[in-house]
Structure 1
Amino acid sequence: MLCRKAVLSVCFLLLLMPASGWAREMKLLILHSFHAGFAWTANQQAGFLQALEGRAGAASVDLRVEYLDAGAGTFEPAGFDALFSHFKNKYTHFVPDLIYATDRQAVAFLHMYGSRLFPTVPVVFSGLHDLDLDTQLNPDRFFGTFALPDIGATVDLALRLEPTLKELHFVGDDSVVSRGLRSYVRREVARYYPQVAATFYDSPRLEDLAAHLADVQPGLWVVTSLVGVRDKHGALVSVAESLQRLSASGRFKILAMEDIYLTPGVLGGAMNRGAEQGWLAGCLAREQVFNETLPDNVSLLGNTSRSYLFDYLQLRQFGLSMEDLPPGSSVVNQPRFLWKQRGFLSGVLIGLVVLQLGFCGF
C-alpha cells in the first residue's frame, strides 16, 4: 500500500511539472522609450512577441512592460536616477530572463543602470538610431537592430519626383533623434549626391515648424522626427495631427522614412517598419540569447530593409502613377475600385438575364 501511494505521489508531481522538455515560464521585461499607444512602439513590441512565439523551451511568458514617456527626447540621464530607484524597488523579486528595449532612451538607461538592476540579464533592442551609443554598449549583453534610414533611397526618390532638385529640406522636432540624424544625413547625402544640399530646420513648437514651411515653401521635404512636437500651450501633439497641420502650410510633397509618419498629408517614402524592427530583434534574441538555429531564410541584419510605401490620395493630388514610383512600391489607402463593384453588379445582371430567358423559354 505504501509503495502504491509513493508511486501515485511521484506521478502526481510529474504531472505538475511543465512538459515539452521541462520547459518553464520565461520572464520578459520590455522597456519602451515612448508612451503607451504610440504606433511605432506598439508595432515593435508586436513584431518582437511574434518572433518569440515559436521559441523552443518556453511554455509561456511572464511579461512586464514599462514606458519611459520620453516624448521629445528630453528624458535624459538627469531623470534616470529616480527611475533607477523606482525599478530597484519594484523588481526586487522579479529577475527577467531577457530584457527587450525599444529606441534610444530605454537603451541608454539600461546602459547606465542595467548592470546594477539585472547584472547578468541580456538586453535585445530595436529602433536605435544612435551609432555613438552603440559603441559604448557591452557586446556580451547587448544585441540589437538599427532604424537608420536609407538616405540614399530617400534622396533618389526625391530626385525621381523632382529631377531639378538642388536643395533637400529635412524637418524635425529638435529631439535627440532629429539632432542625431543630422550628421548622418549630411554625410550620406554628400557621399552619394554631392549635387544636392541637405538643409535642416528643427523646432519642438508646431507653430514654428508651420511658419517656417509656409515661409520657405520647399515644395518637397523630408520628416526626420515629429514625436516631440508641442502646441503653443506646451501640450504634446500627435504625429498625425502635426503632419496634417504642416501639410496645410503649403503644397508639399512630404516624404517620410518610418512607417508611423505615413499619415494623411504625407506622400510616402523609403521607410523602416516598426513591426519588422521588433521581429528581427526577436529573431536575434532567439539566436544570440537562447542559442537557437534559425532557418536560412531569416536574415538578421544590423539594419532592417526599407520598403517603399505611398498614400493613394497624395499620389492622385500630385498626378502621380505607379510608373512614377520606384519598382516594388506599395500603395496604401486605395479605395475599392469601381470595377470590383461592377463585377458584383455584372454578376447580378447576368443572373437576372438568365432568369428572364428561362421564363421566356417557358
Structure 2
Amino acid sequence: MTLIFLLFACFIAAPTFEAASVQTHKTVLFLHSYHRADWTETIMEGYEAGLQGVAGLATYVEYMDTKKIETAEYLNKLRDIYEMKFAGIRFDVVLASDDNAFHFALRHQTGLFKNTPVVFCGVNRFEEGMTAGRENVVGVLERDDLEETLAFAFRARPGTRTVFVINDNTEASRKHIESLSRIMKTAYPRTALKTMGHLTYTEIMQAMFSLPSESVVLFISLWQDAAGRPISVEETSRVLTASPVPVFGRSGWLIGKGLAGGKCVTGFSQGKAAAGLARHILEGRPTSELPRVLESPNQFFFDHRELKEHGMVSVPLPPGSIVINEPRSFFETNKLVILTTAGVTFGLLAFIVVLAVSLVRLKRTSQQLQARKMELLASQETLSGILSASPSGIVKIKDRVFEWVNDAMCRITGYDENDLVGHDSRFLYPDDEEYERVGRDIYQKGQEESRWVRKDGTVRELLFQVAKTRSDSYIAIITDITERIETARALRESEKLYRSIIEKIQDVFYRYDKNGYL
C-alpha cells in the first residue's frame, strides 16, 4: 500500500515549470509548508518578483500540506516521495516557506537536498542553535507585532474591556497565544483575554454574533477548528465579517476580507525578501557574506470600509500605513471622463486656433489670387456662392464620372443635375473617338477644346480646364465658346468675302485729304 501511495504521489506532484529530466543552468525548489492558498500564493508572488530577470532558471514547486497532517509518518513519506522525484536533480537553492518546510529542509539538507543552500521565510519558531554549524542557511523571520497592533486597537477603541482571539490549535497558533498573554498581562492587565481555539466553526460563528460592544477581536489563525475540520479562506472571511466589533490582526492577506487592520506580516514581503537572498546565492555570492537572519518586514495595513463601519475613520493611523478601499476623490472617480473632456476641449481649442489661422491665410491667398478660380474654393460657403454664380460650367469628376455639377453645367448641356451626376460623360460626346481623345490629352495639358451634344441635339463648342484635387478627383471648368468660335468663323468669312469683292472690281479707287494728299 505504501508503495502505491509513493508512486501515485510522484505522478500528481510533478514540477511546475520544467520537467525533472531537464537540468538548466540554475535550479530552484520552492518548498511550502501548506497547501495552495492566499498566503502561499502571495509568497510565490514575492518569490517571482525577487527572482525576476534571473536567466536560465528552472523552478519546482512543492506544497507539503501540513495544515491537514504533520505526523512523523506523513513527513517520512514526503521525504521518500521527494527522493524519488529529485533523484537526478541537484538544486542550487531551496526556498522554504513557514516552519514545517524550514524544519523539513534543515533535517534533510545534507541527504535529500545534497547540502543545497536553504533560504527560509515565514518562520516563527526560530532559535540560533537551529542553524549552528550551517553557513548555507539564511532567511527571513516572521515576527508578529501584536503589541503594536493592540496599541492601535486600544487607541481606536479606548473603552475595550475584552479581547476575543480567533485561533486554532496549531503549534504556531499556540506560540502566538503565549506571546499575546504576556503582552496583555503587562500592558493591559485590566482587560480580559478570551480565546476561541476550543470552539468548532459553528460555535465560533455563533460567538461572533453575540460579542459585546465594549470588545475587539484579534485574529491569529483559523486553518482548522477544534474538531479538526479544515477551514477555508472563504469561511474565515465569513467569521470576520460576522463580527459586530472590529477585527484586528497580523494577516495581510485578510485585509479586504473582514480584517479592519493591524501591523501585518505579508506573504509578498516575506517571499520577496527571501528571494533577494536566494538571488545573491544564484549569482555566486557565498552565504557567509549574507545576513543570516532578516527581521520580519511588517507594515500597517487597514481596510477603510471596516474603519468606517466601526466608526474609526477619524483615528490617526500610524505613519506609512497602507489603506485599501479608500473613497476616491471626484477626480479619481471621474478621471477618465475628466481627462477625456479636457482632451476634447483642448483639441477643440487647438482646432479653432488652427482654423482661425487657416481662414486668415486662405482669405489673404484668395485676395491675392482672385484671378485663379480654382483657388477661390477655400471654403464650402465661398465655393457654393462662386459655383452658383459662375457663368461657366463647373463639375467635380472622377474617372470621368460626374460627382457634382453646378447650374451653369446644366444650362450648357440642357440636362438636369440628376441626368449628369453619377453618369459617365461619354454620352455627351459626338462619338467615342472624340471621348477617348479628350480623355487622353486633357489630363496631360490641363485644358482642351472639344464638342458636346446637348440634350436637344445641338452641338456646342467647349473649352475644358481641369485641376486635380487631393481626393484623386478633378475639378473641371467648362466654358461655352460656341459663339466665340462662330464669331471668329463669321469674321473670317466676311474678310474672305471682302477681299473677293475688291479683287473683282476693275475701277481704281483712291482716297485723298483736303490738301490733295493721297
**TM-score of the pair, normalised by structure 2:** 0.55
In structure 2, the residue matched to 1:220 is: 216
Q: Distance in 1 between matches of 2:52 and 2:338?
A: 45
Q: Residue 96 and residue 332 in structure 1: after superposition, are their counterparts in 2 closer, same or farther (change >3 A)?
A: same
Does the Cα contact within 8 Å between 2:164 and 2:195 map onto a contact in 1?
yes
CA shift at 1:198, angstroms?
Answer: 4.0
Does the Cα contact within 8 Å between 2:208 and 2:244 map onto a contact in 1?
no
Task: Tell which deviates more after alignment, 59-68 or 207-216.
Answer: 207-216
Q: Match of 1:65, SS?
A: strand
Q: Distance in 1 between matches of 2:103 and 2:291?
A: 26
Q: Distance in 2 between matches of 1:338 and 1:39?
A: 33
Deviations for 1:138-183, whole angstroms, at most 9, x for unmatched residues? 4423221111110221111111111133442321122222112122
1:206 aligns with 2:201: yes
Q: Match of 1:226, SS?
A: coil
Q: Which amino acid aligns with 2:107?
A: M
Q: Match of 2:25, SS?
A: strand
Q: Which amino acid aligns with 1:146?
A: L
Q: Residue 170 and residue 245 in structure 1: after superposition, are their counterparts in 2 closer, same or farther (change >3 A)?
A: closer
Q: Residue 290 and residue 204 in structure 1: after superposition, are their counterparts in 2 closer, same or farther (change >3 A)?
A: farther
Q: Distance in 2 between matches of 1:194 and 1:287?
A: 46
Map 1:80-95 → 2, pairs under 5 A: 80-95=75-90
Q: Distance in 2 between matches of 1:62 and 1:146?
A: 26
In structure 2, the residue matched to 1:49 is: 48
CA shift at 1:257, angstroms?
Answer: 0.4
CA shift at 1:86, angstroms?
Answer: 1.0
Q: Residue 181 and residue 270 in structure 1: after superposition, are their counterparts in 2 closer, same or farther (change >3 A)?
A: same
In structure 2, the residue matched to 1:319 is: 311
Q: Distance in 1 between matches of 2:216 and 2:163?
A: 7
In structure 2, the residue matched to 1:265 is: 258
Q: Match of 1:116, SS?
A: coil
In structure 2, the residue matched to 1:32 is: 32
Deviations for 1:103-142, whole angstroms, at most 9, x for unmatched residues? 111112223333321231111110111135x643444232
Q: Match of 1:31, SS?
A: strand
Q: Which amino acid aligns with 1:236?
A: P
Does the Cα contact within 8 Å between 1:240 and 1:261 map onto a contact in 2?
no
Q: Distance in 1 between matches of 2:250 and 2:199?
A: 19
Deviations for 1:221-245, whole angstroms, at most 9, x for unmatched residues? 1110123359x8x763322332223
In structure 1, the residue matched to 2:233 is: 239
Q: Which stretches in structure 1 are left out of the alignment for 5+ residues? A: 1-23
Q: Which stretches in structure 2 are left out of the alignment for 5+ residues? A: 1-23, 353-518
Q: Match of 1:46, SS?
A: helix
Q: Which amino acid aligns with 1:303?
A: E
Q: Distance in 1 between matches of 2:256 and 2:158?
A: 25
Q: Which amino acid aligns with 1:83?
A: L
Does the Cα contact within 8 Å between 1:147 and 1:303 map onto a contact in 2?
yes
Does the Cα contact within 8 Å between 1:160 and 1:324 map onto a contact in 2?
no
In structure 2, the residue matched to 1:304 is: 296
Q: Residue 305 and residue 113 in structure 1: after superposition, are their counterparts in 2 closer, same or farther (change >3 A)?
A: closer
Q: Distance in 2 between matches of 1:344 and 1:93?
A: 55
In structure 2, the residue matched to 1:8 is: none
1:276 aligns with 2:272: no
CA shift at 1:40, angstroms?
Answer: 1.2
Does the Cα contact within 8 Å between 1:257 and 1:271 map onto a contact in 2?
yes
Q: Distance in 2 between matches of 1:86 and 1:257?
A: 34
Map 1:126-205 → 2, pairs under 5 A: 126-131=121-126, 135-138=129-132, 139-194=134-189, 196-203=191-198, 205=200
Q: Percentage identity across aligned positions?
A: 23
Q: Match of 1:117, SS?
A: coil
Q: Residue 212 and residue 319 in structure 1: after superposition, are their counterparts in 2 closer, same or farther (change >3 A)?
A: closer
Q: Distance in 1 between matches of 2:100 and 2:291?
A: 26
Q: Distance in 2 between matches of 1:135 and 1:170?
A: 31
In structure 1, the residue matched to 2:323 is: 331
**TM-score of the pair, normalised by structure 1:** 0.76
Q: Match of 1:143, SS?
A: strand
CA shift at 1:280, angstroms?
Answer: 1.1
Aligned residues: CA RMSD = 3.4
Q: Distance in 2 between matches of 1:46 and 1:104?
A: 19
Q: Match of 2:109, SS?
A: helix
Q: Match of 2:89, SS?
A: coil
Task: Tell which deviates more after alignment, 103-112 or 163-172.
Answer: 163-172
Q: Distance in 1 between matches of 2:234 and 2:303?
A: 14
Q: Which amino acid aligns with 2:265?
A: N
Does the Cα contact within 8 Å between 1:280 and 1:300 map onto a contact in 2?
no
Q: Match of 1:227, SS?
A: coil
Q: Which amino acid aligns with 2:72?
A: P
Deviations for 1:26-77, whole angstroms, at most 9, x for unmatched residues? 11111111112x121111122123223356xxx31111111111225x3233
Flag the structure with larger Rg. 2
Does the Cα contact within 8 Å between 1:204 and 1:228 map onto a contact in 2?
no
CA shift at 1:342, angstroms?
Answer: 5.1
Does the Cα contact within 8 Å between 2:30 and 2:62 map onto a contact in 1?
yes
Q: Match of 1:213, SS?
A: helix
